Amino acid sequence: MIRHIVAWNYMDGFCDEENQENAEKVKYELENLKNLISEIVEMKVILNPAKTSNRKVVLISLFYTEQDLANYQVHPEHKRVSQFVGSVMKDRVCLDLFE
């Protein structure tokens, strides 16, 4: 199993209300990918990390194999959602961990 964790901060230029709306749309779009991409075992987005965190939005997902993760990353639906996420989030950090 491979755990894929990605975290972002809000993009500059949006007010608090816009950041919240964007974060909720990011959560919806990412979590919906589980219904569209068969390689995803789990997909969860957290919008309220602890105050000690230095990122505002966190994706935690699970795949059976590295190849499944690779297939997910090139899937057209993932690419579509990634483009949106990149337009409203910044400071991306990614961790891929074997379980």
CA distance 41 to 35: 10
- Of residues 77, 66, 55, the one with CA closest to residue 9: 55
Residue extents of the structural domains in the chain: 2-98
Within 10 angstroms of residue 10's Cβ, the number of other Cβ atoms is: 19
CA distance 3 to 7: 13
The pLDDT, as a whole number, for residue 61 is: 98
CA distance 48 to 56: 7
- Helices 66-74 & 76-88, crossing angle to 10 degrees? 70
- pLDDT per 10-residue tile (average), the chain, 99 residues: 98 98 98 98 96 97 98 98 98 98
The pLDDT, as a whole number, for residue 69 is: 98
Question: In this structure, which topology does domain 2-98 adopt according to CATH?
Answer: Alpha-Beta Plaits (3.30.70)
The pLDDT, as a whole number, for residue 78 is: 98
The pLDDT, as a whole number, for residue 65 is: 98
